[in-house]
Amino acid sequence: MNNSFLQEELIRESGVNPRKCMRCGKCSGTCPAYEEMEYHPHQFVYMVETGDIEPLLNSESLYRCLSCFACVERCPRGVEPAKLVEAVRLAAVRKQGNNSLKADDIPSLSDEETPQQLLVSAFRKYSK
Amino acid sequence: MQRIGVFVCWCGSNIAGTVDVQAVSDALKNEPGVVFSTNYQYMCSQAGQDLIVDAVREHNLTGLVICSCSPRMHEATFRKTAQKAGLNPYMVEIANIREQCSWVHKEMEIGTEKAIILGKAAIAKVHLNAPLTPGESPVTKRALVIGGGIAGIQTALDIADAGFKVDIVEKLPTIGGKMAQLDKTFPTLDCAACILTPKMVDVAQNENVRIFSYSEVTEVKGFVGNFDVTIKKNARYVKEDICTGCGACVDKCPMKKNPNEFNLGMDNRPAIYIPFAQAVPKVATIDPNACNMLKNGKCGLCARVCTAGAIDYTQKDEYIEEKYGAIVVATGYNPISMDKFDEFAYNQSKDVITSLEFERLTNAAGPTAGKLLRPSDGKHPEKIVFVQCVGSRCDACAEKGKEYCSKICCMYTAKHAMLTRDKYPDTEVYVFYIDVRTPGKNFDEFYRRAVEEYGVHYIKGMVGKVTPEGDKLIVQASDLLADKQLKIDADLVVLAAAIEPDKSARPLATMLTASMDTNDFFTEAHPKLRPVESPTAGVFLSGCCQGPKDIPETVSQASAAAAKVIGLLVKDKLTGNPCIASSNELMCNGCSSCERVCPYGAITYVDKEFRMPDRTTRMRRVAQVNPAVCQGCGACTVACPSGAMDLRGFSSSQIMAEVDAICK
């Protein structure tokens, strides 16, 4: 199913232009989590390009990506697939609706070693 | 006052369909200076041209305005007509009432009005036209070819064959270039040396050709037909005319552990060396960074064993100055460095090699005498992985790699894979590809043979990483069609590295004032219609310096460049374009702005004595335009702050007169 609104949002948020992909598959060739994934990095790029996003939103693959950025580093076309995976992950989190992180939870989660930045970015992701 | 004739062309219905040609010729009849005005169906036809000639004679016309198609189309035609009628050809102006008027307007009224205005502008300009005579310059009947690979060799042979003198300048100790390093050539699998070395010998024995090996061009001055070039002959510490190439010195040299460039560092050579058996010239060269005698004054063994007495440790670099009529650039290519591609472990394992290194490994004259052995342990590899497009087709913003397709890799990889399976049928060969590009005669058939007859495994996908593990290389790659990630325990990995122009090309382009693209490939005068000429007159392009090419294409282009050179050298004199820049020395303030913007290097500054109003004299620095080099682009006229530069035939006053006529 083509979801052009979500497609545009994903492209804008991730800053990834899937049209730059030349379908070489180096991202999937380099991915350490490949075997764990139902949809592989090159498929994320292709499916976002064609607007076939629903299956990605519902797939466990989203949470198998380690964000190691090997695909970003090695993509010859500068497509940066991991950033797209991250954007889909965010969309999935948002779709669930409920805040999964509340301000009240912070004191019990934080200790001296937790960087402030992590809390800020966790808020950004998990409280929409 | 000029006596101007106006000739309005109908161009069948092309113009007459949207422009009332009778109204145009009637309206223009009343313009100042116009003594005759008419219209005709096809001005460019013989009858139309006769009409013009008759009118010139009958009405004593001094200037012509032709209202017709674009000057690109028929300006030359009407200039010849004017000449036939006894006028200077530059007394003709074209008003473009077809491409810029009738073809872009639909309404007769508007089209007619615009055609009249364009005609008035041309009349205003022709009032200020002056007769122009193109300059002439002599042609030095000798060509310079920079680079002695197959491109340079073929160009030199063809020029020499036409009876002209040619010099080849090659920076390495031998000519032959990359082709001399190859094993076999696709798609017919002839041995590269077998087809190249006879040509090397031909060029060496041709009495019209001189070869300056181990030399480079250091300075280029002058212009088409008259280049002054300085060539630096590097000291090779061996007298070239005496050395017989016997190789006794090479055998005896004690400094044997220097990386052999010809084998890409896969074995060693002595400090005194001959790159390969069929080198031309077959003369030894001493590497000054390796020779103990040159570094420390100790040894001298080569001089003692040389029966010819050719060794000369005191030799100095020599500078040769020579005049040339034409210059051909044939500087070639190199594979890019693999240093930035850590994922393929090129710097971690000796068994990850580039395709050019693979050529040497399978070449009978290479470090393994043609046996395919792993560089690390000398064992026969049982599983080989070829990786295509390493550094080719990358994003323009990527820090590594090139944006273009290197063009030759698909074919040579098919060749490597096929030859490996042919010689060693027990070897498993995998080729990872993004696309297989085979646009050439018998190319796709060749690739299909590799797959169908030789059983090479072509896998659509790219290698993600190569990890050395024990004596194996673990190749992790994607198989896109099977939607799988593969892990192959390979013995040898061959990277099809992108190719880039030789590093010497950029400084050379600056010397030649020849233009380059962002990848340092030389640009052509026209990408389709003038592919072997540089935009700089007298500079021609041959081979990979212009873009990636295989051997058949390189040789075709080399011969094409030679044909262009011959076409130039057969002329006794070159006739220039008279519409060139000229500087008014009285107005020039010597600021050099024009010199800086000139893309052709046509402007120089001279100190000149001027008589001042008070009868004293004063030295002033003024611009001078070389009429043989100037292409009439007009950049200098725009850059000149004092209005001293003007373009003949397109002077500022002429253009202002046109603008005034249009705005009136």
Q: Dump pLDDT digits (tens) for B224-233.
A: 999 999 999 9
Q: How far is A96 from chain B (nearest CA, A)?
A: 30
pLDDT at position A18: 95
Residue B79: closest CA among B59, B94, B62 = B94
Contact assignment for B485 to A28 by CB distance below 8 Å:
yes
- Which residues lie across from B318 on neighbouring strands? B233
pLDDT at position A94: 79
Residue A99: band (very low, low, confident or very high) from pLDDT cuts 50, 70, 90:
low
- Which residues lie across from B113 on neighbouring strands? none
Number of other residues whose CB lies within 10 A of the CB of residue B518: 7
Residue B351: band (very low, low, confident or very high) from pLDDT cuts 50, 70, 90:
very high
CA distance B208 to B25: 60
Residue B572: band (very low, low, confident or very high) from pLDDT cuts 50, 70, 90:
very high
Q: How far is B42 from chain A (nearest CA, A)?
A: 51
Residue B403: band (very low, low, confident or very high) from pLDDT cuts 50, 70, 90:
very high
A3 φ/ψ angles, rounded to the nearest 5 degrees: -120, 85
Given a cut of 60, is residue A128 above it in pLDDT? no
Cβ contacts of B480 on chain A, cutoff 8 Å = 23, 25, 28, 42
The residue with greater pLDDT, A34 or A121, is A34
CA angle A31, A35, A36 (to 5 degrees): 100
Closest Cβ–Cβ partner in B395, B460, B476 for A76 = B395
Give buried/exposed letters for B425-435 (b at 16+ CB in 10 A, else e): eebbbbbbbbe
How confident is the model over B441-452, as a mean pLDDT?
A: 97
Tokens read off for B483: 């939607």
Contact assignment for B464 to A27 by CB distance below 8 Å:
yes
CA distance B44 to B424: 69
Closest Cβ–Cβ partner in B397, B401, B465 for A30 = B465
pLDDT at position A97: 67
Residue B385: closest CA among B335, B343, B427 = B427
B299: left (phi over 0), alpha (psi -120 to 50) or beta: left
A26, A31, A43: best to mutate for the B interface, most B CBs within 10 A: A26
Same domain, A56 and A114: no
Instruction: Tell me whether residue B70 is exposed, middle or buried, using C-beta atoms within 10 angstroms of its C-beta: 0 to 12, 13 to 18, 19 or more.
Output: middle
How confident is the model over B146-166, as a mean pLDDT?
A: 98
CA angle B375, B380, B385 (to 5 degrees): 75
Beta-carbon-side half-sphere exposure of residue B39 (alpha carbons within 13 Å)? 25
Residue B220: closest CA among B169, B258, B254 = B169
Three-state secondary-structure class, residue B69: coil
Same domain, A38 and A90: yes
CB B143 within 8 A of CB B26: no
Contact assignment for B393 to A78 by CB distance below 8 Å:
no
CA distance B341 to B400: 8
R_g of chain B computed on alpha carbons: 32
Place of tokens 């889909």: A88
Interval B102-144: pLDDT, tens: 999 999 999 999 999 999 999 999 999 999 998 888 999 999 9
Given a cut of 70, is residue A1 above it in pLDDT? no
CATH of domain B581-648: 3.30.70.3270
Do B235-316 and B581-648 have matching folds? yes
Spell out the residues 6+ positions from residue A42 whose beta carbon is closer than 8 angstroms to its own: A21, A23, A25, A27, A28, A81, B478, B480
Q: Tell me the CATH number at A55.
A: 1.10.1060.10
B92: left (phi over 0), alpha (psi -120 to 50) or beta: beta
Same domain, A79 and A34: yes
The residue with greater pLDDT, B357 or A67, is B357
CA distance B37 to B43: 13
Residue A5: band (very low, low, confident or very high) from pLDDT cuts 50, 70, 90:
confident
Question: How many pairs of residues across A and B have Cβ atoms under 8 Å apart?
Answer: 73
B605 φ/ψ angles, rounded to the nearest 5 degrees: -110, 140
Same domain, A83 and A121: no
Q: What percent of chain B has pLDDT over 90?
A: 92
Residue A37: closest CA among A98, A73, A99, A88 = A88
Number of other residues whose CB lies within 10 A of the CB of residue B141: 18
Contact assignment for B389 to A30 by CB distance below 8 Å:
no
Q: What percent of chain B has pLDDT over 70?
A: 100
Three-state secondary-structure class, residue B439: coil
Contact assignment for B464 to A23 by CB distance below 8 Å:
no
pLDDT at position A56: 94
State which residues form the domain around A108.
100-128
pLDDT at position A120: 80
CA distance B67 to B176: 56
Same domain, A70 and A126: no
Alpha helices for B85-214 (secondary structure H) = 108-126, 150-161, 192-205
Same domain, A46 and A65: yes
Sign, CA dihedral B654-B659-B662-B664, equals: negative
Cβ contacts of A75 on chain B, cutoff 8 Å = 395
Tokens read off for B6: 């106006």
pLDDT at position B155: 98
DSSP result, B317-359: -EEEEEEESEEEE---EEEPP-TT-GGGTTTT-TTEEEHHHHH
User: In whole numbers, what is the pLDDT of chain B averaged over residues?
Assistant: 95
Number of other residues whose CB lies within 10 A of the CB of residue B177: 27
Q: How far is B550 from chain A (nearest CA, A)?
A: 24
Three-state secondary-structure class, residue B242: coil
CB B29 within 8 A of CB B18: no
How confident is the model over B533-562, as a mean pLDDT?
A: 96
Report whether the peptide linkage leading into residue B187 is cis, meaning its omega lies within 30 degrees of zero.
yes
CB B612 within 8 A of CB B618: yes
Homologous superfamily, domain B336-499:
FAD/NAD(P)-binding domain (3.50.50.60)
Contact assignment for A25 to B460 by CB distance below 8 Å:
yes
Interval B49-82: pLDDT, tens: 999 999 999 999 999 999 999 998 899 999 999 9
Type of residue found at A98: N
Same domain, A67 and A122: no
pLDDT at position B576: 81
- Which residue is closest to B434 within chain A, CA to CA? A24
- Supply the ipTM of this predicted assembly: 0.81
Spell out the residues 6+ positions from residue B456 whose beta carbon is closer than 8 angstroms to its own: B414, B417, B418, B421, B429, B430, B431, B450
- For chain A, the domain total comes to 2
How far, CA to CA in Å, does B458 sit from each of A22, B189, B531?
18, 20, 35
Given a cut of 70, is residue B350 above it in pLDDT? yes
pLDDT at position B510: 94
CA distance B581 to B583: 7
Cβ contacts of B343 on chain A, cutoff 8 Å = 30, 74
A28, A36, A64: best to mutate for the B interface, most B CBs within 10 A: A28
Of 3.50.50.60, 3.40.50.280, 2.120.10.30, 3.60.20.10, the CATH number of B138-230+324-332+502-575 is 3.50.50.60
Given a cut of 80, is residue A124 above it in pLDDT? no
Same domain, A38 and A70: yes
CA distance B468 to B225: 58
Spell out the residues 6+ positions from residue A37 whose beta carbon is closer than 8 angstroms to its own: A31, A61, A64, A65
Same domain, A104 and A93: no
CA distance B563 to B567: 6
Query: Among B132-136, B317-321, B650-654, which stretch is predicted with the lowest mean pLDDT?
Result: B132-136
Spell out the residues 6+ positions from residue B234 whose beta carbon is closer than 8 angstroms to its own: B214, B215, B216, B317
Same domain, A48 and A107: no
Same domain, A83 and A105: no
How confident is the model over B511-516, as a mean pLDDT?
A: 92
Q: Which CATH class is domain B4-126?
A: alpha beta
Residue B577: band (very low, low, confident or very high) from pLDDT cuts 50, 70, 90:
confident
Same domain, A82 and A113: no
CA distance B342 to B399: 13
Residue A95: band (very low, low, confident or very high) from pLDDT cuts 50, 70, 90:
confident
How confident is the model over B597-626, as a mean pLDDT?
A: 90
Q: Where are the domains of chain B?
A: 4-126, 138-230+324-332+502-575, 235-316, 336-499, 581-648
Spell out the residues 6+ positions from residue A98 whose beta carbon is closer than 8 angstroms to its own: none
Second-level CATH architecture of B235-316: 2-Layer Sandwich (3.30)
pLDDT at position A115: 79
Interval B83-97: pLDDT, tens: 999 999 999 999 999
> Could you tell me whether strands B499-501 and B333-335 are parallel, antiparallel, or unpaired per DSSP bridges?
antiparallel
pLDDT at position B159: 98
pLDDT at position A110: 78
pLDDT at position A98: 66
